[in-house]
Chain A
């Protein structure tokens, strides 16, 4: 329970929740949902801050992940339990901190339907797939003389900051109203890692020798926030379209762009089989050289990596895409969404039910599949149609069964209207 409490504490952060309703009265307390086509737009200014973090895993349970979340030591028995099964080990981690501002009081371009908006965000995406052997090598070691294989593994990590500006367009007077927003962002990628292994990756080892098959590509790049490296551009696009009396179709594409690293990216590759039976000491006099072993280690590793350091690299950022259909029924609101995170993972499929618990409180539950089945819950609170709070918790199933399932996440949001 202590862990569950920590996860809930973790969840006390803002996130923006969307909902639709054609009942204007029901939605009148939630002026913060300016792009919700179930209600008319309110002439106001909105400041938004939100936080989103989600970890979805397969083959690894929450007891394995908690040390990473809470910066503790990963115990040997936890590792052993997670490595018992030969299943693939997969994890997707997504973090997003977002600040935005929109002025709906004042139209722009002399068009009553166009408003400008500002946006700033920090985003992080990590995606990992390991064979059980690869995970064993990393988390346990190579004491077993069996062959370890690590084909078709990957590790992808992208962290970036962005600031952007754009427009919000809305047309409410049509029988099928719609709105969309377009933003252009300046981005800086702080950290980029992309490792992919192909076929014929293995390690056969004992205390006398190593035989390693390596067939991989890896790119790493990083930039300091204070520098101008890793800079690029991206674009965001959001569309909401009310296709019938009750149904809204939404489409979102976020961070379609690129970033460039100048002389600061490292590339490693290999496609060969290597054998190592210890550093050969050709002469006893080599032991007088303090750098001999390090030089030998470096030259051995060089064969394994064929490294190209400090090269130019342009990164094309895989955009996050999402398509959602929401419908309002007598029993409440239902939405179905298909979302691709912007990494190498499979899409996330989710179904959500939400409704008004009180005029100023919306509650929702959702379930879906991303690496494994998940169960989420969320709530939204409005105070005098001026202050708004959202909070939610993700992967309730894994929080309740931490030794069997892996996943955790929080959503939190806060808006002010004036």
Chain B
């Protein structure tokens, strides 16, 4: 067993294998010129020939150069400006029975009542918790006291004291003389600086009455009636049920920094009002924020206004609310509180902010030292339209634009005709003076540059501002063809890069009364269009493209030991074509080529009639053998360079038509190593 196990373990990393030969179609494609150029670049003419059109647009100037709206937040930390209670009253009675307890024995009897003079230091609790407050310290206000004599005899003297039950602080201490039965005496005392509890003590220090003139009805439940009222109250603090009231109001103008720009009006595409509130007020605070000089959909009543409710803080802590309201679609005046009145203002937003409480019926403790911290303002504002004066600016513009269509092409090309249009489009409501310094086509493969030369190229010219209401952009066109410029040579250079160089002065002649405008889509663009009929000749044009390559990404490809590839080409173009693939390592050293060294198989051009139009396609079969040693190198390659070469018979120019096709079919015969 051990011997056998050892034998198996020696063998287990090896598999039995055998080679099979498989023939299969691999891929097929039908291509026309649009596959190379892209459909968008081709315009088909009525005779089925093509014009090749390249469009490039370069943004010379954009809104970011004019208007970046910074987030602007204000912070306010305020204590309450006012704290008030409405006028309140209450009534209480100190009965005869309480003043003169013996009277309870005579209750209901009609009899003469003797004079009495009772002095006392004990009083009776008067609870104003429900009617007034639980506790309050007064900044201002008055307490009015009316003593009504409900005794059946005249009170010669009543000395009355009202004091806090808890700390015995005297609120009112007064004497009332000769109060006839059924009449009242009145006194009023200031409350400023006083602290009053909700439970008071009323003490009738002395009641001196005259004897009755005859028998009177003794009613021990009647006595001295006390009516208390507080009025004109301003509080320092209180524990009470508070009425609705404004706590603070802030109306202000804030000037924004827009750099060089002076904005008077803005339509907001997106953005927010942010309100972040911290409050230690033990009552719900209602914050109102508004921008009166704003509107939406041209409705002045629909201005920016938002309300935030801040819940009551718990004692010793604070409550926090952060809210964000969208401003999308609002138009805001940046001319301050009174846009139509001097002095003229810009970049200035007028806003109103207030804090208030509403009646809740719930007892709260509020102090003038309670505070509310608020951060509010406008953030992430993206304007849709801004009007104003955006300042004078001068700048040079230089840009290199890659022309992908030519970047992989080498050789020569002869073009029948070519046109180049250059036009400037201004959608800013701002005027500019433009100077075209240079437009150069650079062939980096050949290190050759051709600058566009034309009598049509002006020196400095004015790009007028666009018009608004209705919006009309401004265009400045320039047209070059082979009659007025060197544009044919410019293109035959096959530039892979076009260099633009412009200089510009924006708003060169001062403000148009702050009526310049920018939209969020505003641009000043230089637009270039190359148009040429697809009619060319070449004595040798080679396309080359370097690509990454990993044959091993195809499953089981490692088992392919060798192959014979057959490329069947049905050529409907009047072009002779060849192709080769270089298989490269990481350093781009050639490991192998698809064609054997020194051989280059070619697909023959389609046959043409006397007018140079293809009469019938020609089929060519190119065979590439990949023996095991070459297959090994192909599998090692990490890059490939695909080369395709073309030439027209005798270098003559041919027009390319839409019905020209190139059909390609790739077949393979593989030796595949199976294993088990």
Assess whether B18 is in contact with A73, with CB atoms less than 8 Å apart.
Answer: yes
Residue of B nearest to A301 (CB): B555
Assess whether B17 is in contact with A73, with CB atoms less than 8 Å apart.
Answer: yes
What is the CA–CA distance of A51 and B667 in the complex, to the nearest angstrom?
50
CB-CB under 8 A from B29, the residues of chain A are 280-282, 284
Q: Is the interface of B mostly helix, strand, loop or mixed?
A: strand
Which one of B16, B550, B566 lies within 8 Å of A73 (CB-CB)?
B16
Assess whether A12 is in contact with B3, with CB atoms less than 8 Å apart.
Answer: yes
**In this complex, which of A139, A208, A291 has the most chain B Cβ atoms within 10 angstroms of its Cβ?**
A208
- As a 0/1 sequence over residues 503 to 522 of chain B, the CB contacts with chain A under 8 angstroms (1 = contact) are 00000000000000000000
Q: Classify chain B: how many residues form its interface, as a range.
A: 35 or more
CB-CB under 8 A from A205, the residues of chain B are 23-24
What is the CA–CA distance of A183 and B55 in the complex, to the nearest angstrom?
84
Q: Check A110 for interface membership: any CB of B closer than 8 A.
A: no
Assess whether B667 is in contact with A278, with CB atoms less than 8 Å apart.
Answer: yes
Assess whether A71 is in contact with B15, with CB atoms less than 8 Å apart.
Answer: yes
Closest beta carbon of chain A to B644's beta carbon, Å = 10
Q: A279-B28, A284-B35 are known contacts. Are A12 and B20 too (CB-CB below 8 A)?
A: no
CB-CB under 8 A from B447, the residues of chain A are none
CB-CB under 8 A from B14, the residues of chain A are 71
Which one of B27, B28, B550 lies within 8 Å of A290 (CB-CB)?
B550
Assess whether B22 is in contact with A278, with CB atoms less than 8 Å apart.
Answer: no
What is the CA–CA distance of A138 and B18 in the complex, to the nearest angstrom?
10
Residue of A nearest to B667 (CB): A207
**In this complex, which of A74, A76, A206 has the most chain B Cβ atoms within 10 angstroms of its Cβ?**
A74
Which of A140-148, A162-170, A217-225, A313-321 is near enough to bind chain B?
A: A140-148
Q: A13-B4, A71-B14, A71-B16 are known contacts. Are A210 and B553 too (CB-CB below 8 A)?
A: no
Assess whether B31 is in contact with A138, with CB atoms less than 8 Å apart.
Answer: no
Q: Check B362 for interface membership: any CB of A closer than 8 A.
A: no
Q: Check B105 for interface membership: any CB of A closer than 8 A.
A: no
Which one of B15, B25, B28, B549 lies within 8 Å of A281 (CB-CB)?
B28
Assess whether A278 is in contact with B26, with CB atoms less than 8 Å apart.
Answer: yes
Q: Check B19 for interface membership: any CB of A closer than 8 A.
A: yes
Which one of B22, B35, B554 lies within 8 Å of A294 (CB-CB)?
B554
Within 8 A of A (CB), among B623-676: 665-669, 672, 674, 676
Assess whether A294 is in contact with B555, with CB atoms less than 8 Å apart.
Answer: yes
CB-CB under 8 A from B17, the residues of chain A are 73-74
CB-CB under 8 A from B1, the residues of chain A are 13-14, 49, 51, 412, 414
Q: A71-B16, A73-B16, A79-B18 are known contacts. Are A12 and B4 too (CB-CB below 8 A)?
A: yes
Assess whether A207 is in contact with B16, with CB atoms less than 8 Å apart.
Answer: no
- As a 0/1 sequence over residues 278 to 322 of chain A, the CB contacts with chain B under 8 angstroms (1 = contact) are 111111110110110110010000000000000000000000000
Q: Check A72 for interface membership: any CB of B closer than 8 A.
A: yes
- As a 0/1 sequence over residues 1 to 45 of chain B, the CB contacts with chain A under 8 angstroms (1 = contact) are 101100000010011111111111111110100011000000000
Q: Check B548 for interface membership: any CB of A closer than 8 A.
A: yes
Closest beta carbon of chain B to A332's beta carbon, Å = 30
What is the CA–CA distance of A295 and B578 in the complex, to the nearest angstrom?
28
What is the CA–CA distance of A143 and B31 in the complex, to the nearest angstrom?
30
What is the CA–CA distance of A12 and B36 in the complex, to the nearest angstrom?
70
Assess whether A208 is in contact with B4, with CB atoms less than 8 Å apart.
Answer: no
CB-CB under 8 A from A280, the residues of chain B are 27-29
What is the CA–CA distance of A67 and B674 in the complex, to the nearest angstrom?
13
- As a 0/1 sequence over residues 253 to 281 of chain B, the CB contacts with chain A under 8 angstroms (1 = contact) are 00000000000000000000000000000
Which one of A68, A141, A279 lies within 8 Å of B16 (CB-CB)?
A68
Which one of A13, A51, A140 lies within 8 Å of B21 (CB-CB)?
A140
Q: Check B482 for interface membership: any CB of A closer than 8 A.
A: no
What is the CA–CA distance of A415 and B549 in the complex, to the nearest angstrom?
61
Assess whether B22 is in contact with A141, with CB atoms less than 8 Å apart.
Answer: yes
Assess whether A281 is in contact with B27, with CB atoms less than 8 Å apart.
Answer: yes
Q: Check A209 for interface membership: any CB of B closer than 8 A.
A: yes
Closest beta carbon of chain B to A307's beta carbon, Å = 14
- As a 0/1 sequence over residues 552 to 575 of chain B, the CB contacts with chain A under 8 angstroms (1 = contact) are 011100000000001000000000
Closest beta carbon of chain B to A135's beta carbon, Å = 11
Closest beta carbon of chain A to B27's beta carbon, Å = 4
What is the CA–CA distance of A141 and B671 in the complex, to the nearest angstrom?
9
Q: Check A276 for interface membership: any CB of B closer than 8 A.
A: yes
Assess whether B11 is in contact with A70, with CB atoms less than 8 Å apart.
Answer: yes
Closest beta carbon of chain A to B168's beta carbon, Å = 85
Closest beta carbon of chain A to B6's beta carbon, Å = 12
Assess whether A284 is in contact with B25, with CB atoms less than 8 Å apart.
Answer: no
Q: Check B400 for interface membership: any CB of A closer than 8 A.
A: no
Q: Check B501 for interface membership: any CB of A closer than 8 A.
A: no
Q: A208-B667, A293-B554 are known contacts. Are A278 and B20 too (CB-CB below 8 A)?
A: no
Q: A12-B3, A68-B16, A71-B15 are known contacts. Are A278 and B25 too (CB-CB below 8 A)?
A: yes
CB-CB under 8 A from A291, the residues of chain B are 553
Closest beta carbon of chain B to A298's beta carbon, Å = 8
Q: Check A277 for interface membership: any CB of B closer than 8 A.
A: yes
CB-CB under 8 A from B669, the residues of chain A are 143, 207
- As a 0/1 sequence over residues 115 to 147 of chain A, the CB contacts with chain B under 8 angstroms (1 = contact) are 000000000000000000000011111110000
Q: Check B445 for interface membership: any CB of A closer than 8 A.
A: no
Residue of B nearest to A209 (CB): B25
Closest beta carbon of chain B to A223's beta carbon, Å = 19
Assess whether B4 is in contact with A284, with CB atoms less than 8 Å apart.
Answer: no
Residue of A nearest to B566 (CB): A207
Assess whether B553 is in contact with A207, with CB atoms less than 8 Å apart.
Answer: no
Closest beta carbon of chain A to B20's beta carbon, Å = 4
Q: A281-B29, A290-B553 are known contacts. Are A51 and B23 too (CB-CB below 8 A)?
A: no
What is the CA–CA distance of A208 and B24 in the complex, to the nearest angstrom?
7
Which one of B23, B35, B553, B668 lies within 8 Å of A283 (CB-CB)?
B35
CB-CB under 8 A from B4, the residues of chain A are 10, 12-13, 51
Within 8 A of B (CB), among A19-72: 49, 51, 67-68, 70-72
Residue of A nearest to B28 (CB): A278
CB-CB under 8 A from A137, the residues of chain B are 20
Assess whether A278 is in contact with B16, with CB atoms less than 8 Å apart.
Answer: no
CB-CB under 8 A from B668, the residues of chain A are 207
Closest beta carbon of chain B to A390's beta carbon, Å = 13
Q: Check B189 for interface membership: any CB of A closer than 8 A.
A: no
CB-CB under 8 A from A67, the residues of chain B are 16, 18
Q: A74-B18, A141-B21, A276-B25 are known contacts. Are A290 and B548 too (CB-CB below 8 A)?
A: yes
Assess whether A142 is in contact with B25, with CB atoms less than 8 Å apart.
Answer: no
**In this complex, which of A10, A68, A75, A281 has the most chain B Cβ atoms within 10 angstroms of its Cβ?**
A281
What is the CA–CA distance of A317 and B21 in the complex, to the nearest angstrom?
37
What is the CA–CA distance of A281 and B14 in the complex, to the nearest angstrom?
39
Q: A141-B672, A294-B554 are known contacts. Are A207 and B21 too (CB-CB below 8 A)?
A: no
Q: A208-B665, A283-B35 are known contacts. Are A71 and B11 too (CB-CB below 8 A)?
A: yes
Residue of B nearest to A144 (CB): B23
Closest beta carbon of chain A to B141's beta carbon, Å = 81
CB-CB under 8 A from A138, the residues of chain B are 20, 674
Q: A68-B16, A73-B16 are known contacts. Are A142 and B22 too (CB-CB below 8 A)?
A: yes
Closest beta carbon of chain A to B87's beta carbon, Å = 80
Residue of B nearest to A78 (CB): B18
Assess whether B16 is in contact with A72, with CB atoms less than 8 Å apart.
Answer: yes
Assess whether A210 is in contact with B16, with CB atoms less than 8 Å apart.
Answer: no
Residue of B nearest to A137 (CB): B20
Name 24 A/B residue pairs within 8 A (Cβ), A-sorted: A10-B4, A13-B4, A68-B676, A71-B11, A73-B18, A74-B16, A79-B18, A139-B20, A141-B20, A141-B672, A142-B21, A142-B22, A143-B21, A206-B23, A207-B667, A276-B24, A277-B25, A278-B25, A278-B27, A278-B666, A282-B29, A290-B548, A293-B554, A414-B1
